[in-house]
Amino acid sequence: MFVFNSRISRLSLAISLCAATGAALAAEAPPAFKACAGCHKIEAGAKLMGPSLFGVYGRKAASVADFAYSDAMKASGVTWDDAHLSSFIADPKTVLPGTKMVYAGLKKPDEVLAVIEFLKSLK
């Protein structure tokens, strides 16, 4: 009985630790950022399928040195401000034909705004 109980309490400790970590992350990233997090890390230098989004706001497109961007992204000449981010995030393939970002786009304007606000905070 004692063993059984201590297993349960260890399990619930583990669960509450996970819940605490989850809450900390949720407070920073808006729910809509889940659509990006599968391909983008937010820590400097960390890449997944896409480049790290750390410091992306206000920076020139394709400027993470060791990331193999598409020619389209390299040639875009874009600086990631509100206007360029919101159009690209909403419909990457139409806005930048040839992009390697294989993502349909975030369609709800309020979610786009929330994601951009979050990107601004990554510095």
Closest approach of ligand HEC to the CB of residue 28, in Å: 14
Among 18, 46, 102, 110, binds ligand HEC (CB under 6 A): 102
Long-range contacts for 70-75 (Cβ within 8 Å, ≥24 apart)? 70/98, 70/99, 70/100, 71/98, 72/96, 72/97, 72/98, 72/99, 73/99, 73/100
Looking at 1-9, 16-24, 49-57, which segment touches ligand HEC (CB under 6 A)?
49-57
Three-state DSSP state, 3: helix
Does residue 42 interact with ligand HEC by CB under 6 A?
A: no
**Residue whose entry in the numeric block shows the structure tokens 């304007």:** 109
Residues that bind ligand HEC (CB under 6 A): 35-36, 38-40, 49-51, 53, 56, 61-64, 69-70, 72-73, 80, 85, 89, 99-103, 106, 115
